[in-house]
Amino acid sequence: MALFSRRRDSRGSGPVLRVENLDVYYGRAHALQGVSLLLERGVLGVVGRNGMGKTTLCNAITGLLPAGATASGSVQLAGEEILGLPANTITERGVGYVPQGRRVWPSLSVDEHLRLAASHGARGGWTIERVYKSFPRLAERRGHGGAELSGGEQQMLAIARALLFNPRLLVMDEPTEGLAPVIVQQVAAMLKTLARDGEIAVLLIEQNLGVAIDVADTIAVMVNGRIARTLTAGELAADRELQQRLLGVRAGGEEEEAAAAAAPPPAVEEIRVLTVRRAGDADLPGAETRDERATRGLTRWNAANPILPIAPSAIGSNLPSPTSVGESLPRTESGGLEVRERDAVIPVSATVNRAAYVAGTFDTKGRELFYIKQCLDKLGLRSVTVDLSTSGATSTANVHPREVARHHPQGERAVFTDDRGSAVSAMAVAFERYVLARRDLGGLISAGGSGGTALATRAMRALPVGVPKVMVSSVASGDVRPYVGPSDICMMYSVTDVSGINRISEKVLANAAHALAGMIAHARRGESTSKPALGLTMFGVTTPCVQAVTKQLQGEYDCLVFHATGTGGQSMEKLADSGLLAAVLDVTTTEVCDEIVGGVLSAGPERFDAIIRARIPYVGSCGALDMVNFWAMDTVPAKFRGRNLYKHNDNVTLMRTTPEECRAIGEFIVTKLNRMEGPVRFVIPEGGVSALDAPGKPFWDPAADRALFGAIESRFRAGPNRKLVKSPLHLNDPGFADLLVQQLREVTSNLAPRTAYLASR
């Protein structure tokens, strides 16, 4: 211990950290290119998108470059050269490191972590007692293992562990990655306290520009392995154009984000990207030297120098990874570099504030899920790995299973039980709630078998329509309705089982990652029309009514017609839940018949619940409540064989509802109507409810219709915003369509501001 202190006392004076002309190669890939930095005191922030070389810079300073990597240049700590020294020697000389992903030991308690660090650290102002005083939460959790801590607690522990080495320089790699916003604020407060105390200088590697500006004195912007600009935090905060050009981000508050969301989306800038191809080894005739390539601003690692006038907007472009540039690529006649132009349309700011979440059971599918993450990282997307394992195995993901499990209504104990089935079901519930609490989720991807698919897709179904969702699954080749439901989940068949990386799974998983990346990067903002969206339900036997209504309203609304086949009603209500509908004209409520009687096209007992939650204007009717649906005639259950059956086609058989069934159907509907708090009109067509329910038609049954209408009328609770309207007309009569349109305009007449808002989304 004393030896460490004497080493520090003997060091020379100078800036805490000086980096000059640092170059790092991974094989032939030029990762860092002439990087120079100066940190005299306080906090120096290094910001940049994924894949720009920030972690490589950390590894070079702390001595953690992997085998095979080569570095040249200079890294000085207080005037003493440390580049190339072993990591333990660099630590002894005063460099503390908080690694990306925290890397705490799952089996060691908080106190054991700290005592281990203190026993190897140098003497100084930071002791275990001071750590507990500075981090009260760690004191409360001192007996808990690393795997039992939340992400924020693990980050506190990682920082405290580094401080106990009493470093002169603290290197922190992405300390806020994967943390909830409130925890990010706590970590930022810790960093500002460290900087204010002045005992330690901090090199902060951070992708969250807001945190970097808030904490750092000076910020260096890293792009494609180079330092593109170095400026004060205040200058970068004030220069929005520079943020957009170098990073593709805005660093504003919630008010600015809201204003930006309400404004028309910026036009996507079409850019031309220069891709550099290398034919062979450096000693081939005609091959350019590294210095010559640097002069031109072109390297094997990047497409172009973004600070040169070639294509500054190409920052973050989807370029080939270094390993994809090999001997088989085209060469010039001289055997040197070949520069090709390719067109690309890349919205530079599309992916910075949104992360790709990679979720699954990392205890069994870790290799496959990390491969997906690797593909996303190479594309420049920020990714967050979320472990949904229930086995209790050690986790290497950004988000530990216990952190997810804490989102279960009954806490993590409800998830980690001795029964695997109940544990997986509970984890699915917890993951759904976890996902809905994320503010930076740009898309969600998973891979697994039947269990993993059921676990991940529950959360996917809970996300709004339009949020990218990709599920790679071995069960995607069969009936995927239980997994997809009414959502827009992209199911990709894994072909082979999701078990290891092979020539097939590698292609499938890479395609899935690239698909998600494309959806996130090129997410459509705003709608193709300025008209508010109107949801309508239709069946073949109610088509004349819906077509007449649509014809009248198509100038005012973007009319979205849903086939009332169970999934159709669910899909419409999913859009209502997602805030994508301004109103609903529910002409065809027939799915309730199948739910009550036992047909094959039920939308489930939750039918109408999204309308209740969304409180949007609702106009409903009794379309096709005279029928229950079955498949081909020979599939009709035996107990219904003697009923009034109608062969709609070779694959669909309809059954007339009885008065008793109609009464139950009416009671189901009116119960839901009475729970709606938005403006409601329910219109009863006393002349018949479908094309088959009319005089002389197979399902004409006035007694059954009266039972239906009476059940609704007797229990309907009318009010200023809730009215029951009766008409003597048949549902498919043109006059009834006119009445529906009139009622819709009445319930939406006072909602112009809301519909204008929805139309702008």
The count of residues in the chain is 761
**492 is a domain residue:** yes
Residue 253 has pLDDT above 60, yes or no: no
Minimal CA–CA distance to 405: which of 378, 386, 421, 383?
Answer: 386
Q: What value does the mean pLDDT of the chain take?
A: 81
CA distance 578 to 761: 11
Q: Do 633 and 502 lie in a common domain?
A: no
Query: What are 316-333's pLDDT values in tens digits?
Result: 333 333 333 223 333 333
Q: Do 168 and 291 lie in a common domain?
A: no
The pLDDT of residue 211 is 85
Which range, 87-96, 218-227, 497-506, 723-732, is most confident? Answer: 723-732
**187 is a domain residue:** yes
CATH number at residue 474: 3.40.50.12020
CA distance 134 to 132: 5
594 is written with which tokens?
Answer: 């199948």
Minimal CA–CA distance to 494: which of 480, 477, 470, 517?
Answer: 477
What mean pLDDT comes out for the span 690-712? 97
The pLDDT of residue 74 is 95
The pLDDT of residue 246 is 66
Radius of gyration of the chain (CA): 31
Q: Do 510 and 549 lie in a common domain?
A: no
566: left (phi over 0), alpha (psi -120 to 50) or beta: left
Out of 297, 321, 345, a domain closes at 345
236 is written with which tokens?
Answer: 């970068």
**368 is a domain residue:** yes
Write out the residue range of the structural domain in which residue 190 sits: 41-63+85-251
**613 is a domain residue:** yes
Q: Do 482 and 614 lie in a common domain?
A: no
CATH number at residue 111: 3.40.50.300
Give me the torsion for CA of 515, 299, 329, 506, rounded to 10°. Answer: -30
The pLDDT of residue 755 is 44
Out of 314, 345, 376, a domain closes at 345
In the chain, pLDDT over 70 holds for what percent of residues? Answer: 81
Q: Do 327 and 395 lie in a common domain?
A: no
Residue 183 has pLDDT above 80, yes or no: no
With cut-offs at 50, 70 and 90, classify the pLDDT of residue 106: confident
Which range, 308-317, 405-414, 567-576, 729-738, is most confident? Answer: 729-738
Q: What is the SS3 assignment for 7?
A: helix
With cut-offs at 50, 70 and 90, classify the pLDDT of residue 236: confident
Going by C-beta distance under 8 Å and a sequence separation of 6 or more, which residues neighbour residue 31?
24, 25, 53, 56, 69, 225, 301
**2 is a domain residue:** no
What mean pLDDT comes out for the span 138-153? 82
With cut-offs at 50, 70 and 90, classify the pLDDT of residue 62: very high
**27 is a domain residue:** no
The number of helices, as runs of H, and strands, as runs of E, in the chain is: 27, 26
Q: Do 114 and 177 lie in a common domain?
A: yes
Q: Looking at per-residue confidence, does 53 or 434 come out higher?
A: 434
Q: Do 711 and 598 lie in a common domain?
A: yes
Residue 102 has pLDDT above 50, yes or no: yes
- Strand extents, DSSP E, 304-396: 337-345, 355-360, 383-387
Q: Do 331 and 278 lie in a common domain?
A: yes
The pLDDT of residue 525 is 62
Q: Do 440 and 574 lie in a common domain?
A: no
Q: Do 53 and 188 lie in a common domain?
A: yes
Q: Looking at per-residue confidence, does 354 or 447 come out higher?
A: 447
Q: Looking at per-residue confidence, does 13 or 359 come out higher?
A: 359
Q: What is the SS3 assignment for 25?
A: strand
Q: Looking at per-residue confidence, does 704 or 131 come out higher?
A: 704
What mean pLDDT comes out for the span 522-551? 86
With cut-offs at 50, 70 and 90, classify the pLDDT of residue 685: very high
**464 is a domain residue:** yes
CA distance 260 to 631: 50
CA distance 679 to 677: 7
Tokens 């094959």 -> residue: 600
What mean pLDDT comes out for the span 549-554? 96
Q: Do 361 and 434 lie in a common domain?
A: yes
Q: Do 472 and 549 lie in a common domain?
A: no
Q: What is the SS3 assignment for 643?
A: coil
* Angle between helix 543-553 and 734-748 (nearest 10): 50
Query: What are 188-202's pLDDT values in tens digits?
Result: 887 788 777 777 899
The pLDDT of residue 4 is 37
With cut-offs at 50, 70 and 90, classify the pLDDT of residue 750: low
CA distance 41 to 712: 75
The three-state DSSP-derived secondary structure of 701-754 is CHHHHHHHHHHHHHHCCCECCEEEEEECCCCCCHHHHHHHHHHHHHHHCCCHHH
What mean pLDDT comes out for the span 705-719? 97
**23 is a domain residue:** no
The pLDDT of residue 336 is 35
Strand order in the sheet with 722-727: 558-563, 533-538, 583-586, 618-621, 680-685, 722-727
Q: How far separated are the first and last CA of the chain, in Å rounded?
A: 62
Number of domains, the chain: 4
Out of 222, 251, 280, a domain closes at 251
